[in-house]
Amino acid sequence: MRLPSDYLKLVGDGSHLLRSLGADLRTEAERRTERPELWLSVRDLAGLAERLASSNDSEWRNGYANILIGGQDFGVLDQLVAGDTDLPLQLTRDQVELLARLRGFLRQYCDREFELDEPAA
């Protein structure tokens, strides 16, 4: 199976949403000093957003982008999609759907379900 034709848009949109959620959560973490654990979630969201935003088409097509994604990233996305989190974030249905699509794509990519280009020697 080939990479979806819109995968760069999906990655870009997902990165943008994660960055926005991270910024919202940062504001809450600054306000809620009694919840220092929120900073871990800020790091998780912002970190994944930045790693996705820094990737390019060549890295994805050659199979190198899988080093950007770890198990913790899937856990973060799973919790956001399931609404199984105590984070002070309110996601819209469209945002949840975008994150679910991003998570599905990343899982398929990391599981090497896509045909990728051979890197030049």
DSSP secondary structure letters along 86-110: --S----HHHHHHHHHHHHHHHHHH
- Of 17-21, 35-39, 92-96, 97-101, the one with minimum mean pLDDT is 35-39
Q: What is the pTM of this model?
A: 0.91
- Considering the domain boundaries, does residue 46 fall inside one? yes
For the chain, what percent of residues have pLDDT higher than 70? 97
Is residue 87 in a domain?
yes
Strand partners, 66: none
Mean pLDDT of all residues in 9-34 = 96
Residue 119: band (very low, low, confident or very high) from pLDDT cuts 50, 70, 90: low
Report, as an integer, the average pLDDT of 33-47: 94
Question: What local confidence, expressed as pLDDT, does residue 121 receive?
Answer: 56
**DSSP at 84:** -
Is 86 among the domain residues? yes
Domain that holds residue 32: 7-110
What CA–CA distance (Å, rounded) separates 73 from 67? 12
**Pair of tokens at residue 41:** 């979630």
Question: Does residue 116 sit within a domain?
Answer: no
Amino acid at 9: K
Q: Which pLDDT score, from 0 to 100, does residue 101 have?
A: 98
pLDDT digits (tens, 9 = 90+) for 50-99: 999 999 999 999 999 999 999 999 999 999 999 877 888 899 999 999 99
Take residue 105 and report the two structure tokens written for it: 């794509």
Domain count, the chain: 1
**What mean pLDDT value characterizes the chain?**
93
118 within a domain of the structure (yes/no):
no
